């Protein structure tokens, strides 16, 4: 089966391949009498390269459920936070925070969590603490996007850099049409995605549960109970 590589990874994969060839080829040419050395280094190089390829996979995803009011996971990973919090940047009200942590072995493309229109997008510089820590949501480098659904509810999505992540890519801009089947952005090497949902949202996942970006329904918005923001 052909593996599609995300555009964010093309140049990195080429650079890694060149670097690994520079390391491995001289070993096979010049190391004599210690064949185990080039073999060991080559095996380690192949394993490392395949992990990077896995990281930059860009699988096609299709949400099979009813998209009306559905909240869909924005990332592959594991639910690490699910609690009521105050969101101070844009919503300025109490919300349900649902966070998914992505390990380096997960696909790191990010999907829009709901259908609608992007009305706010802002990048914030910050620290690079471990992404699973609660305070990483407000202290780490991050990018915030707010989407207004067709029913008028606001959903905030935040990409958070981690200890290994050094670049957040956000495609969403104000006026962009959001679809749960489209990529919203990409985070390079270990990170998390936070969703801030209305308190009336019905939640379908729990702490520790795995998610598949663009496919796992994590909640359902209830517009008839919405609070004007």
Element holding 30 (H helix, E strand): helix 10-30
Catalytic-role residue among 11, 136, 191, 202: 191
Contacts of 124-130 spanning 24+ positions with Cβ under 8 A: 126/161, 128/161, 128/162, 128/163, 128/164, 128/165, 128/166, 129/162, 129/163, 130/162, 130/163
- The three-state secondary structure class of 10 is helix
CA distance 221 to 229: 15
- Our answer to whether residue 191 is catalytic in this structure is yes
Q: Which residues are catalytic?
A: 191
């Amino acid at each position: 089966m052909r593996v599609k590589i995300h555009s964010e990874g093309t140049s990195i994969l080429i650079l890694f391949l060149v670097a690994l060839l520079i390391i491995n080829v001289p070993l096979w040419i010049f190391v004599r009498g210690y064949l185990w050395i080039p073999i060991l280094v080559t095996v380690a190089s192949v394993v490392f390269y395949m992990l990077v390829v896995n990281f930059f996979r860009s699988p096609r995803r299709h949400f099979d459920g009813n998209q009306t009011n559905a909240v869909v996971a924005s990332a592959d990973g594991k639910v690490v936070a699910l609690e009521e919090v105050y969101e101070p940047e844009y919503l300025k009200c109490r919300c349900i925070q649902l966070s998914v942590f992505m390990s380096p072995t997960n696909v790191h493309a990010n999907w829009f969590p709901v259908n609608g229109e992007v009305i706010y997008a802002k990048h914030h510089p910050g620290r690079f603490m471990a992404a699973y820590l609660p305070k990483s949501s407000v202290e780490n480098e991050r990018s915030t996007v707010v989407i207004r659904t067709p029913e008028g509810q606001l959903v905030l999505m935040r990409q958070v850099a981690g200890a290994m992540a050094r670049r957040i890519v956000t495609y969403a801009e104000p006026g962009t049409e959001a679809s749960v089947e489209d990529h919203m952005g990409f985070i390079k090497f270990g990170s998390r995605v936070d969703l801030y949902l209305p308190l009336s949202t019905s939640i379908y996942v729990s702490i520790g549960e795995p998610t598949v970006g663009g496919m796992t329904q994590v909640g359902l918005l209830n517009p008839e109970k919405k609070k004007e923001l």
